[in-house]
Structure 1
Amino acid sequence: MKKYFAFASALLFSALIGCQENEDPQVEEPNFEEVESEWIRLAWWNNDSKIGLINPINDNNTNPDLAAFNPAGANYLSSSGRYIISIERVDGKVRFFDTGIENHNDHGHEYTPKWISATADAPLPTHFSSTNGQIIIFNDGDGSITWARESTLETPSFSPTVISNIGNGTHHGAATWLTGNKFAVTFKDESVSGSLPQHVKLIDNTGQVIYEDETVTVTGIHGDASNGKYAVFGATEGVVVASDNNQIKLIPNPSPLASTSGNWMGTIKANDNISTFYGYASQQGIFEINPDTEAITPVLLSNTIKTYFLSADGGYLVVQLNDNTVKVYDTANRNEIASKRLTTAEASANTNAETANEWEHYRLMNEESPILTASEKFLYVLAPDKKTIEVKNLNTLNSVKTIDAPNNTTNILRVGFQTK
């Protein structure tokens, strides 16, 4: 009898072990307060365009008594995560806001937030690009570019550099920075009708052309991004790639991309920490662009994309669809790692996106999302009532924390950095 019970117990134990092995492993959510960087902050704006900063770990809210942002302006984050650049297109002005979060790679410092006193003045500042601590803005009104180095913004003598008289014509263009203080800039062929340019050339900081390839010509160019080594421009026939070693080439559109309206990539996004770029075509979806292999590969084919952006370090691509489904992709391999329909606030700052013309639509797609923003490991979501901010694990999109949002919050933006 004892042998029988011993045998039965052994069978039961084996069965239990077998069941446990067949069950899906339990994934523990990270301890948010231990994993999130102490140097990450959430910038928030209220109905009066006044700014504040929340420390998401301890919920401390800094509400400085400073001049408001321009409600009609577009706000962008510098590549270091420290500065918010306010582009006031109609007024021809660019202002620089210092969040006070300074990165020293292995540690950080926090100072009082403030506006930088110097501003950049040029007609119709429009397209923004930031890479490797360099801030570049293309001015549609005269084809000039505005250049500001983050390392000099705090110096008393700081003044943005406006590089003008480039000879590129007045047009709706784009520009960005490449290693060696070279600038990849669009040039308009005046014999071609319309507001878009046809060429990309490299210039120096005096506006002189240092490299061009007239064989690389397209019908139209819109949008660009840079990681310092490469600058990628969206174009009707593909993407124009300029490199820091003085090369310009065209990577042709693969199927289903085409040169017709809505079917070519008019918005490009990048991150300094990754080698791939991400382009958006309104009727086709999002594509990965690899300048090294000259490959363009679909990531998500959809004509219902509301917004898309990269996490702070470029490790994740976050896509929001019109039905508020959020998809997260690993940029190392394009694999979808999470997908979930979220409840979010309405993106009031982009109310014109649905009715905008094609070029305005692509310009709005280049702006930061006003209701979703990401650090390296977490997604921050402004709730529908705009009274709370949900924190989601980017690997699962499961909630890990809820933060109280200040009264009348309209927009949020991740600022700061992760120590390495």
Structure 2
Amino acid sequence: MKNKFQKLLFLFALSAFAVSCSNDDDHDHDHHDDETSQEYKYLRVLVSDEKTTELSFINPVDGTASFFNAKFPKSALYTTESGRFAAIIHRDDNTVETFDSGFEFHGDHVDTKGTPKFGALTGTSLSPTHFKSKKGELLTFNDGDGTLSVGKESEIHSIGATFKTISAGLTAHHGAMATFSNGTYAITVKDNSIAGTLPEKVKIIDNTGATVHAAKLATQGIHGNATDGTYAVFGSASGILVVESNGDQKLIPHPEGFGTAWFGSILETAYPGKFIGYTAAKGAFLIDVVNETVTPVFESTKIMQCKVSYSHKKLGILLHSGEFRLFDLNSLQAEKTANIISATAEDSTQKPQLELTERFAYITSPITGELLKVNLSSLATTKIKTSATPYRITIFGHENSSGH
């Protein structure tokens, strides 16, 4: 009798364990679904306005917005290397502001550092236009006088902190720059050696403005660039200009049939030596600077926005028709294709702006004063109210939901 009772207890315990395991499996599945349907806890979206100074600071998790006032309207927005801060560029008003998300990344978790707010660090220069952030620095190329302005992330909350000017003896031009891992900078040069308004060459300087490596190649014009720390890649009418941190330079030919088209935008990816080149005349292509190959990702003359994801592992393309396409930048395979917004006229003065994370695409709606949040798994769309005429957008914070 005792043995039978023990066997019954064992069978009951085994059954309960199986049910428990089954429930655990279901719970894990549900939890996974919840994760993909929600944005990361410590990501935020910042949106500037075309006509007012209002900035929309958006928490995409709960769909709420807080509002701040920048110094001027119609500002360009960029995220710093750490992901914690945003730079607010007022080109026409010769001013740079900084903004703190309040989230500091610590490897496996995120700490909340106060509340979202403007930083004390500001910059004043002539037409700050091109922005980059590497090695803890915020860097602008100033079209008005051909100088660089450099600020440090570590000084964003230092009272009275300002950007420092680096002069490399350049003339005023619509230029660009890139930071190498060794602390030097690749910077465009306009010397009128070739007719045209754009710069023709690139040289490497140090943080005093002194030339480390002189320019070696002249092009028919340069616009757009990116760097992985070893290679700086510039869009050029003469080919894709690749500048190495050791001073070596080379031109990679455009694909056959490009004619006069060339890449006016170069985007960084998460993969060393690989970049995205984009031109409205042809589409988006993967540039491998080591193997010197240029591979089409998506060819079209109807692209409205072409952006890499926050992790630099995906490519999002938004067409004027309202069609959205998502590509994996490792495999170059298309992952999603869907019509997600209404069509936008190609001659529209203010077009929807696109940014994307691992889980969502964010698209401004300049006409309705909204930010569209598109789930990249289900393509379900929600709307978040912004200022009346959203202009530019940046994502900052961290793709992480673990607190301290």
Q: Same fold (TM over 0.5)?
A: yes
1:1-400 to structure 2, matched below 5 A, reads 30-32=33-35, 36-45=39-48, 48-63=52-67, 66-110=68-112, 111-156=114-159, 158-164=161-167, 166-214=168-216, 216-258=217-259, 260=260, 263-271=261-269, 275-343=273-341, 351-352=348-349, 371-382=353-364, 385-387=368-370, 389-393=372-376, 396=377, 398-399=379-380
Flag the 1:73–1:306 CA change in 2: closer, same or farther, 3 A.
Answer: same
Flag the 1:43–1:33 CA change in 2: closer, same or farther, 3 A.
Answer: farther
For 2:37 and 2:301, how far apart are their aligned partners in 1?
38
Flag the 1:388–1:217 CA change in 2: closer, same or farther, 3 A.
Answer: closer
For 1:370 and 1:82, how far apart are their aligned partners in 2?
25
Post-superposition Cα deviations, 1:97-143, rounded to whole Å, max 9, x if no partner, equal 22222222322123222222332222121122233543221111111
- SS of equivalent to 1:192: coil
- SS of equivalent to 1:297: strand
Shift of 1:345: 9.0
Deviates more, 1:293-302 or 1:51-60: 51-60
Alignment-mate amino acid for residue 93 of structure 1 = T
For 2:63 and 2:257, how far apart are their aligned partners in 1?
46
Residue 201 of structure 2 contacts residue 218 of structure 2 at CA under 8 Å; is this kept in 1?
yes
Flag the 1:253–1:33 CA change in 2: closer, same or farther, 3 A.
Answer: closer
Residue 44 of structure 1 contacts residue 52 of structure 1 at CA under 8 Å; is this kept in 2?
yes
For 1:274 and 1:325, how far apart are their aligned partners in 2?
30
Alignment-mate amino acid for residue 103 of structure 1 = F
Alignment-mate amino acid for residue 268 of structure 2 = A
Alignment-mate amino acid for residue 56 of structure 1 = P
For 1:351 and 1:82, how far apart are their aligned partners in 2?
33
Post-superposition Cα deviations, 1:269-316, rounded to whole Å, max 9, x if no partner, equal 114565421111221111111122222211111111111111110111
How many residue pairs end up in the alignment?
367
Q: Does 1:402 align with 2:382?
A: yes
- Which residue in 2 is equivalent to 1:18? none
Alignment-mate amino acid for residue 184 of structure 2 = K
- SS of equivalent to 1:131: coil
- SS of equivalent to 2:133: strand
C-alpha RMSD of matched pairs (Å): 2.9
Shift of 1:237: 1.5
For 2:162 and 2:156, how far apart are their aligned partners in 1?
8
- SS of equivalent to 1:90: helix
Q: What is the TM-score of this pair, normalised by structure 2?
A: 0.81
Flag the 1:377–1:243 CA change in 2: closer, same or farther, 3 A.
Answer: farther
Residue 87 of structure 1 contacts residue 126 of structure 1 at CA under 8 Å; is this kept in 2?
yes
Flag the 1:408–1:142 CA change in 2: closer, same or farther, 3 A.
Answer: closer
Residue 382 of structure 1 contacts residue 390 of structure 1 at CA under 8 Å; is this kept in 2?
no
Shift of 1:169: 2.3
Flag the 1:404–1:185 CA change in 2: closer, same or farther, 3 A.
Answer: closer
Residue 370 of structure 2 contacts residue 390 of structure 2 at CA under 8 Å; is this kept in 1?
no
Alignment-mate amino acid for residue 153 of structure 1 = I
Shift of 1:324: 1.2
- Which residue in 2 is equivalent to 1:16? none
For 1:78 and 1:336, how far apart are their aligned partners in 2?
29
Alignment-mate amino acid for residue 330 of structure 1 = D
Shift of 1:332: 0.2
Residue 131 of structure 2 contacts residue 141 of structure 2 at CA under 8 Å; is this kept in 1?
yes
Shift of 1:320: 0.8
For 2:276 and 2:238, how far apart are their aligned partners in 1?
16
For 1:29 and 1:330, how far apart are their aligned partners in 2?
21
Aligned mate of 1:418, from 379, 399, 404: 399
Post-superposition Cα deviations, 1:303-338, rounded to whole Å, max 9, x if no partner, equal 111111111101110011111111111000211111
For 1:302 and 1:59, how far apart are their aligned partners in 2?
33
For 1:282 and 1:236, how far apart are their aligned partners in 2?
14
Residue 345 of structure 1 contacts residue 371 of structure 1 at CA under 8 Å; is this kept in 2?
no
- SS of equivalent to 2:69: coil
- SS of equivalent to 1:255: coil
Residue 283 of structure 2 contacts residue 298 of structure 2 at CA under 8 Å; is this kept in 1?
yes
Alignment-mate amino acid for residue 222 of structure 2 = I
Flag the 1:273–1:157 CA change in 2: closer, same or farther, 3 A.
Answer: farther
Identity of aligned residues (%): 31
Post-superposition Cα deviations, 1:230-253, rounded to whole Å, max 9, x if no partner, equal 211100121111223332222122
Flag the 1:140–1:61 CA change in 2: closer, same or farther, 3 A.
Answer: closer
Structure 1, gaps ≥5 residues long: 1-27, 354-368
For 1:335 and 1:327, how far apart are their aligned partners in 2?
11
Structure 2, gaps ≥5 residues long: 1-30
Residue 371 of structure 2 contacts residue 383 of structure 2 at CA under 8 Å; is this kept in 1?
yes
Shift of 1:59: 3.5
Deviates more, 1:279-288 or 1:79-88: 79-88
Residue 228 of structure 1 contacts residue 272 of structure 1 at CA under 8 Å; is this kept in 2?
no
For 1:32 and 1:414, how far apart are their aligned partners in 2?
19
Deviates more, 1:371-380 or 1:323-332: 371-380
Deviates more, 1:288-297 or 1:268-277: 268-277
